[in-house]
Structure formats: structure tokens, C-alpha cells
Structure 1
Amino acid sequence: MNALRSALFALVFYAWTVIAVLLAFPISLLGTQAIRGWAHNWVRVHRRCARHILGIRTRVEGAPPAGSALVAVKHQSMYETLEIVLLLDEPALVLKRELADIPLWGWVVRRYGVIPVDRSGGAAALRRMMRAAEAAIAEGRPIVIFPEGTRVPVGAQPPLQPGFAGLYRALGLPVVPVALDSGRLWPRNAFVKRPGIVTMRFEPVVPPGLKRGEVEAAVHRAINALEPAS
């Protein structure tokens, strides 16, 4: 049954995604807010498909931040990359440049206002990322980063990527860590998903101005708060 649910989810959601991307081009002519509103509609369809086809819902614990903050999210599945958009106020997501370069879709997410990061681009790439982040802050948007750099299996607690501490230091923003357990239901690289409740917990704010070791330790501990005890 779960395999059938997962196949139906893929058929419905990805078919809708193709339509949404094509419609985004004329909608973008109406301006930035129009394309952001359209992107949020696309994400809402993902939530409905997850809820009504897969049987996956979200339980939110803690308070999502209002205004500019650096939101550091545990990364176990695709689920949280879209769900976090609905829990925050037009967040700017830091994502791999390769994703922002996907034909058509990449153009749309750039218009939405993501922050592409080129890990091999050196100082010039870092400056571009910082300009994009500063533009998001000027709009009062939170910045979402997945500090582990990639999806990890349940129980894995890798060290944070070095770019996180650099962004934290350069932007001078408080950090809101987000712990979650989506991998129990939506495992990394697995086609079949299981029904249930995903917990997304907004942990206490980590203040700006800490030393690199201090902020990395605090955020690492917080985003792994829902990991099973070893």
C-alpha cells in the first residue's frame, strides 16, 4: 500500500510541478511578489499531496522566527525543504548552485529569491552569496540553511559544513536551529514513504557574535535534538 501511495504522490506532485513551472513564466511578469505567491501555492500542493496521499503531516514545536534570522535546519529528506517555506515568512533558501541551474525550474527559484552557493567558486562565489543574503535581509526575510550540506540518514550527526560559520559571522544574525525527524517516514534516496507525523522543532535562539566553535557546537547539538539516542 505504501508503494502505491508513493507512486500516486510522485505522479500527482511532479505532474503539477511541470505545470507550475511553465505557468511561472507568465506569472513572473507581474513582479516578485506574484512569483513568490505562486511558489507558495506550489508548496501548498506538496503539503496537501503529502497529507492526503502519503498520510504525512507536520507537528510544529516551538515558535518560528519573525523577521530576519539564520534558520539552520536538520536535513533528512526533501520534505522539510518545502515544508519550511510554509512555516516562515518568504524565506530565502541557501541551496547548491546546481539546483538553481536546472533548466526552467532553476530560473523560477532564482526569481523567487533563493541564495545559490557555489562550493568550488572561491572568493567571487562567496561575495555573490553574501550580496544575495544581504538583499534578503534588507527585505526582512529569514535565511534558511541546511548546515550539514546534504541529506543524512536517521541517526547520522555529521559536523556542520564550514560555510555555515562563515555566513553566521558575516551576517551577524541570530540562529534558530530546527530539529526534525522526517527521515523516519521519508528516508533519504528512498522511493517508498510511510504515513505518520513529522516533528519540526524550533529550538531556542543562538545569539550572534559567538566564536566559531561555540556556535557550531550549539547548533549541532540543537538540530540533532530529535535524533535517537545511541
Structure 2
Amino acid sequence: MPSLEFHNGEYHSPRRKVSWFARRFPSLVFYTKFFWIVVKASSRAKFATYDSTAWSDSSVEVIRALESVGMQFEVTGREHIESVDGPCLIVGNHQSSLETTVLPAVIQPIKEVTFVVKQALLDYPIFKHVMRSRDPIAVTQSDPRGDFKRMLGGAQERIQRGSSIVIFPEGVRAEEFNAQRFNTIGVKVAQRNDVPIVPLALDTWAWPLGERISEVGRLDPSRKVRFAFGAPLTVSGRGDEEQQLLVNFIERKRSEWRRDESSLDSESTLPTFATS
């Protein structure tokens, strides 16, 4: 599976024809493909043949499956990850399952990476084999003090092995970014391990949470998927300034995206006039 083609740190989905059936039933088409991607990956993971390259390839397959139903991706700022010598923390907001399945295709080809994830993901049927093979840091989300210790200890181990870590400090997935819920764990981990933070702002609500199964929401291909990475931050002192810079970056990018969407919506409603 070829990797994504980035130009000057950016990836934009190529134009492609979407079938009538995929336009009419995007969720059905995508989840059918996604199921088989996960089954193949899980089978390899069970036999310990699912390495970092295979993980990245599966992630690219997920992107192609989403693009096949009309979803458009925009990734900017990947050069900031490339500029870091050694491991780093990638710290951003959290919306849906999309980022954990798609980010490996963006990051893994240039830097070994893993995630902080909820323990439940390591217990899901089929999917658990894939997640466990990637050596994530698992948290319970029910024991804050214990989770904090697990994150600090787990992060230190993985950073020493040369792995970067993706952290979503909000803890829960939500459409709107909540600065009050965006805790300082990313700054604390970076400070204790003397590694830089690469800010991440994202909008992945094109794959929203489901009502019964949170990972299976109704897709909205009309909504663009966006990832933006910011310039690396070096934490000094208590990290208050860096924490605020993280929040500011996420809020600024999301405001820019909302203005872009509003502008496109306005243009689509302008009257057209026939010309002779």
C-alpha cells in the first residue's frame, strides 16, 4: 500500500469519482471496507507479524476507504514533526475514532509513534489485537491518580525506546473543543522527559460518535477532515505558557476552519445569473 503523498508538509485528497451507491450509502460502504481492514490487521497482529509498516499501510487503507465515499482530507504542518530530532509528544483535541485510525498514516512513516488510549480499546473483539501490538499507554478513565502515574511511567518507557506519543488531554471525544477540559498532562509528560510538543488541531466530526456504539457513527462526507500540526514547543518552568499556546493554536485553527466553511456555504447559496 503506497504511503500518502505529501508536498511541503501538506496532503490534500485527490479528486476521484464516487459511485452512486457510495454517495447514497456512505456509512454502509465504508464500514464494510473498514471491517475487513481491521480483520486483516488483527489476523496479522495475532501472529506477531503486524509491524509499524503494516500499521501505517492499514491506516492508509482507511483513508482510501473514506475517500472512496467522498470524504476529503486536508493535512498541514507535517514538516513540524519532521523537524524534531528524536521523539516528541503530539498533543491535540479529540473528536472521534477517525484520528486514531488515520494519524498512523501521517506520522508513522517519519517517526515511530504510539497513542494514549482508553483501556476498553484493548479489550474490543478483533480490534484489541491491533491495538495491543502497537504498545499503547492504556488508561482507565475512572482512576485519575492511577491513570496519571501510568501515563508518566508509560511515556518515559516509550520515549526512552525512541517512540513519539499522541496524547488527547480532553480525555473524552466531543465535537466542540473544551479548553477547560484540556488538562496539562501533555505539558507534564514533555517537561519530565525533556521532549518537545508538536501541537495538533483537528476536525474529524465527519466520522461522529455513534448512538449505540460510539465508534460507529453515521458518516458525513460533506464535512472536510482537517489536521493541522503546529511549530514545536519546548516546555520551560511550570509549562503554563506552553499550555496556553496549545489551547490558542487549537482554538485559532478551528476558528479559521469554521470561517472557511461559512464562506463556502455562503458562496453555495449565491444566486446565479444566465448570460447571453
Shorter-chain TM band: 0.7 to 0.9
Q: Do structure 1's residue 132 and structure 2's residue 154 form an aligned pair?
A: yes
After superposition, the Cα gap between the structure-2 partners of 1:136 and 1:98, relative to the gap in structure 1 and judged at 3 Å, is: same
The counterpart of 1:20, out of the listed 35, 41, 44, is 41
The aligned residue for residue 116 of structure 1 is 138
* More divergent stretch after superposition (127-136 vs 155-164): 155-164
The aligned residue for residue 96 of structure 2 is 77
Q: Check the 8 A contact 1:76/1:151 in 2, yes or no.
A: yes
Q: Which amino acid aligns with 2:52?
A: R
Distance (whole Å) between structure 2 residues aligned to residue 191 and residue 201 of structure 1:
24
What secondary structure sits across from 2:253 in the alignment?
Answer: coil
**Could you say what the CA RMSD is over the residues aligned between the two structures, in angstroms?**
2.7
**How far is the alpha carbon of 1:160 from its aligned partner?**
0.9
* More divergent stretch after superposition (17-26 vs 159-168): 159-168
* More divergent stretch after superposition (65-74 vs 103-112): 103-112
Q: Unaligned regions of 5+ residues in structure 1, if any?
A: none
Q: Do structure 1's residue 98 and structure 2's residue 108 form an aligned pair?
A: no
**How far is the alpha carbon of 1:9 from its aligned partner?**
0.4
What secondary structure sits across from 1:65 in the alignment?
Answer: helix
* More divergent stretch after superposition (157-166 vs 89-98): 157-166
**How far is the alpha carbon of 1:103 from its aligned partner?**
4.1
The aligned residue for residue 41 of structure 1 is 57
Q: Check the 8 A contact 2:59/2:103 in 1, yes or no.
A: no
Q: How many residues align?
A: 224
The counterpart of 1:59, out of the listed 70, 75, 95, is 75
After superposition, the Cα gap between the structure-2 partners of 1:227 and 1:91, relative to the gap in structure 1 and judged at 3 Å, is: same
Looking at CA atoms only, which structure, 1 or 2, has the larger radius of gyration?
Answer: 2
Q: Check the 8 A contact 1:64/1:202 in 2, yes or no.
A: yes
The counterpart of 2:182, out of the listed 147, 160, 163, is 160
Report sequence identity in percent: 22
* TM-score, normalising length: structure 1: 0.82
Q: Check the 8 A contact 2:191/2:236 in 1, yes or no.
A: yes
**How far is the alpha carbon of 1:101 from its aligned partner?**
2.8
Q: Check the 8 A contact 1:2/1:193 in 2, yes or no.
A: no
Q: Check the 8 A contact 2:55/2:104 in 1, yes or no.
A: no
Q: Do structure 1's residue 87 and structure 2's residue 106 form an aligned pair?
A: yes
- Deviation string, structure 1 residues 116-139 (Cα, Å, up to 9, x no partner): 123444655544433332232123
The aligned residue for residue 147 of structure 1 is 169
The aligned residue for residue 235 of structure 2 is 208
Distance (whole Å) between structure 1 residues aligned to residue 102 and residue 55 of structure 2:
12
What secondary structure sits across from 2:40 in the alignment?
Answer: helix
Q: Unaligned regions of 5+ residues in structure 2, if any?
A: 1-21, 211-216, 260-276
- Deviation string, structure 1 residues 44-78 (Cα, Å, up to 9, x no partner): 21011011223322332352414311111222222
After superposition, the Cα gap between the structure-2 partners of 1:149 and 1:124, relative to the gap in structure 1 and judged at 3 Å, is: closer
**How far is the alpha carbon of 1:140 from its aligned partner?**
2.0
Q: Do structure 1's residue 4 and structure 2's residue 25 form an aligned pair?
A: yes
The aligned residue for residue 194 of structure 1 is 221
Distance (whole Å) between structure 1 residues aligned to residue 149 and residue 177 of structure 2:
34
What secondary structure sits across from 2:51 in the alignment?
Answer: helix
More helix as a share of residues: 1
Q: Which amino acid aligns with 1:109?
A: M
- Deviation string, structure 1 residues 137-186 (Cα, Å, up to 9, x no partner): 12322111012212221465443135334323332321111112332x33
